[in-house]
Structure 1
Amino acid sequence: MSAKRLNLIQVFRGLAAVLVVFAHTDLIYNQNVNQDFLFKMFLFGGSGVDFFFVLSGFIMFYIHYKDIGHPDKLGTFFSKRFTRIYPLYWLILTSKILASFLFSYEPNTNARGIGEFIKAFLLFPQDRTILSSSFLGVSWTLSFEMFFYLMFGVLICLKPKFSFPIIVGWLSGVFLHFLGVIQFPQDNLLIQFLFSDYNLEFVLGSLAAYVVLNKKVSNGIPLLYGGLFLYTLSVINSWYTIIQLSSVVLFGIPCTLIVIGSASLELRKNINVPVFLVFLGNASYSVYLVHGFFMNQMTKILSKLPFPLFENLVVSNIVGFIISIIAIMCGCVIYSYIEKPLLTYFKPKAVTT
């Protein structure tokens, strides 16, 4: 029997994407018109990535926990994951590269070597400066996604007596690095990637799914409210920098509590969720991939108009908000007319997984 579809988890995916969009609006405003967006109110929007990672860990374990230790499930698992990530990513990446070659959208792309192009298409980790200046800036997070899929594949492919020591050994290195007990060379990008703090957020999501599936939570409301409270404190901290902590602590842990609380509630009773929020969650990957391009182009075009749109602070912020909403809507259109048909073509069952 398939796991119950959790609409709140889909909603969270959409909200995480929106947070990233607003954070990038500020970044693009600074780059293109030398201004802040909404007084950097959405400086915390990068926490949408932390939320994405926790949600990914939760979804993987929630859907595929029964596949652990069953090598015959490995092909189906990777087929679904490959279909979910690569087709749309390749299409968007190729489009951006062609735009760079033909219209000098990103002039630095012409200077990249074949190895960097291969890494970009395979989502092999490389310098984020290279990705943002020549390929897709957000693709660094997809590299972590693919690595998590590979590690989960180890759990599926091998019997627990073999896979668990591998996973425990790796996670021990990640955790000790997180605590500062082990220091890896800063200039070794691959080692830093393999033992990055971000990997812990996938683990937190998986642990959340384990707790939910084992019905260890009788009432999810305190956890949900507790997670929202801690998340709010972390947002305030991002504005005033009261304490310096890893985003795993500041946002990963609150997001984990939010996921456990909401999933536990929804497993016990039906929760009416607005259809458009579920749709936004379904479209979150498309929104995530393409929003930067649309916002970048819109701000550049508007900044060249004969009347000063960005000189008045109020007008500038209203324009930024409208640009963000349009970018989100463009992502939704791409989901409906490109991503969804692509997924249907390659693997019908993977459309909304």
Structure 2
Amino acid sequence: MNYISIHYLRAVAALMVVFCQIEIPLARIGDQGFWPGFLEGGVDIFFVISGFVIFLSIQSRSMGVLDFYKRRLMRIVPLYWIVTTFLVLVAIFTPQFLKSIRFDAMHVAASYAFLPYPSPADGLLYPILAPGWTLNYEMLFYAAFGLCLFLLPRWRVLAVSAVLIALPLLGILVRPDWPPAIFLTSSILLEFLFGVGIAWVLSKRAGSRKAGASLLFAGMMLFMASPFIAQHVDLLRFILLGVPAAMIVSGALLLEKARALPIWPLPKLLGDSSYALYLTHGIVLSAMGQLWLRLPFGSGGLSLAVFSILTLLASLLGGIVTYRLVDEPLQNWLRANTARSRPAQLSA
């Protein structure tokens, strides 16, 4: 499970998402220029990584269904609920600071429950903490995958593949117009299957520098070309961005299996804090944008470049601080208490 390449790719994916989202406050302060749209593919890298890690984790140890769900909830829920609660409080008491959030009790409840519900601000299926839309898909994947643990190990790949293929296929055939049904049948679920497939295939073969470098390079080129491809060919996201993401993940893993990667402190720290960075970057971007509008810096090219750099650094700092002061201590406490509770359960 100690794939340092996966750790580094988490950092890369989080940075891609943050840099992609800088476009929003830039537009608010006057920028109308081109912004690399392929950076949103960081989300697709996260989905592929998730499929890879989850499959590998249950293959490397004996794990029951309830234990699997408990571990995933412990990792995802606490920090997400903390940041969501912060936004709920801001929306209630100082709504003027939130330009894209409207308080609605049902929307808030659905956000806490990881359920798709139209946002009262724009009707999109985003929770109050917008990046949480990806966590809704993560939870759907966990729910499906956990049920497969009732089966013998040799049947798990087939079972989870059947579920992750059947749901998007149903969406293509039925074309539902009810928002929750659209969510449940999205073809983006196939990106988790890419990760599962990578874990299953790579567990049976050795690394390769040539194949790894080729896949990594080709995936990066397809990522950068995706905005231009989308202008000429109507492709579903799991093909346009999911396939390059899978190529990048598999390429990095093949390279690592061929040669061990060094552990660099800064990329490791960014990998550790990638979840906190992903959840908090929108708050930092919004705050930086509103602050910049109140300062006499103008909206020229140099000013926008300085804003982009400072905003990126502020987002990174916010993610690292949140990880060090909130997420890491909380996870350590949860793991320690879970470990202490096991002997008592056994003795009972």
**Would you say the 8 A contact 1:101–1:110 is kept in 2?**
no
**Which of 22, 25, 36 matches 2:22?**
25
Match in the other structure for 1:199: 189
Q: Shift in Å at residue 149 of structure 1?
A: 0.8
Match in the other structure for 2:313: 325
**Would you say the 8 A contact 2:127–2:133 is kept in 1?**
no
Structural mapping, 1:38-77, within 5 Å: 39-66=33-60, 73-77=64-68
Q: Shift in Å at residue 116 of structure 1?
A: 2.1
Structural mapping, 1:220-299, within 5 Å: 220-239=209-228, 241-299=231-289
- Report the TM-score, using the length of structure 2 for normalisation: 0.86
CA distance in 2, matches of 1:51, 1:108: 26
SS in 1 for 2:36: helix
* AA partner of residue 17 (structure 1): A
**Which of 5, 21, 38 matches 1:8?**
5
Bigger Cα displacement from structure 2, 91-100 vs 317-326 = 317-326
Bigger Cα displacement from structure 2, 249-258 vs 92-101 = 249-258
Bigger Cα displacement from structure 2, 11-20 vs 73-82 = 73-82
**Would you say the 8 A contact 1:106–1:133 is kept in 2?**
no
CA distance in 1, matches of 2:155, 2:23: 47
**Would you say the 8 A contact 1:54–1:256 is kept in 2?**
yes
Match in the other structure for 1:210: 200
Q: Shift in Å at residue 347 of structure 1?
A: 1.7
**Which of 306, 320, 323 matches 1:335?**
323
Match in the other structure for 2:342: none
**Which of 122, 138, 142 matches 2:135?**
142
Q: Shift in Å at residue 195 of structure 1?
A: 1.5
Match in the other structure for 1:124: 115
CA distance in 2, matches of 1:170, 1:17: 28
* AA partner of residue 4 (structure 2): N
CA distance in 1, matches of 2:156, 2:277: 35
User: Are 1:315 and 2:303 counterparts?
Assistant: yes
Residues 277 and 153 (structure 1 numbering): CA distance in 2 closer, same or farther, change over 3 Å? same
CA distance in 2, matches of 1:162, 1:60: 16
Match in the other structure for 2:293: 303
Q: Shift in Å at residue 171 of structure 1?
A: 3.2
SS in 2 for 1:200: helix
Q: Shift in Å at residue 318 of structure 1?
A: 2.2
* AA partner of residue 145 (structure 2): F
* AA partner of residue 117 (structure 1): V
**Structure 1 unaligned residues grouped into runs of 5+:** none
Residues 236 and 267 (structure 1 numbering): CA distance in 2 closer, same or farther, change over 3 Å? closer
User: Are 1:347 and 2:335 counterparts?
Assistant: yes
**Which of 98, 118, 124 matches 1:106?**
98
Q: Shift in Å at residue 133 of structure 1?
A: 8.1
**Would you say the 8 A contact 2:207–2:253 is kept in 1?**
no
* AA partner of residue 31 (structure 2): Q
Structure 1 residues 31-88: Cα deviation after superposition (integer angstroms, max 9, x where no partner): x22424xx33332111111111001101111111256xx6x62232112111110100
CA distance in 2, matches of 1:183, 1:65: 35
Q: How many residues align?
A: 334
Q: Shift in Å at residue 163 of structure 1?
A: 6.7
**Would you say the 8 A contact 1:109–1:134 is kept in 2?**
no
**Which of 22, 31, 45 matches 1:35?**
31
CA distance in 1, matches of 2:336, 2:13: 25
Q: Shift in Å at residue 206 of structure 1?
A: 0.6
Task: State the superposition RMSD in angstroms.
Answer: 2.7
Residues 286 and 218 (structure 1 numbering): CA distance in 2 closer, same or farther, change over 3 Å? closer
CA distance in 2, matches of 1:266, 1:325: 29
Runs of 4+ in structure 1 deviating by more than 6 angstroms, as ranges, are 131-134, 160-165
- Report the TM-score, using the length of structure 1 for normalisation: 0.85
Residues 172 and 86 (structure 1 numbering): CA distance in 2 closer, same or farther, change over 3 Å? closer
SS in 2 for 1:203: helix
Q: Shift in Å at residue 162 of structure 1?
A: 8.5
CA distance in 2, matches of 1:340, 1:6: 20
Bigger Cα displacement from structure 2, 91-100 vs 320-329 = 320-329
Residues 209 and 76 (structure 1 numbering): CA distance in 2 closer, same or farther, change over 3 Å? same
User: Are 1:79 and 2:55 counterparts?
Assistant: no
Residues 251 and 82 (structure 1 numbering): CA distance in 2 closer, same or farther, change over 3 Å? same
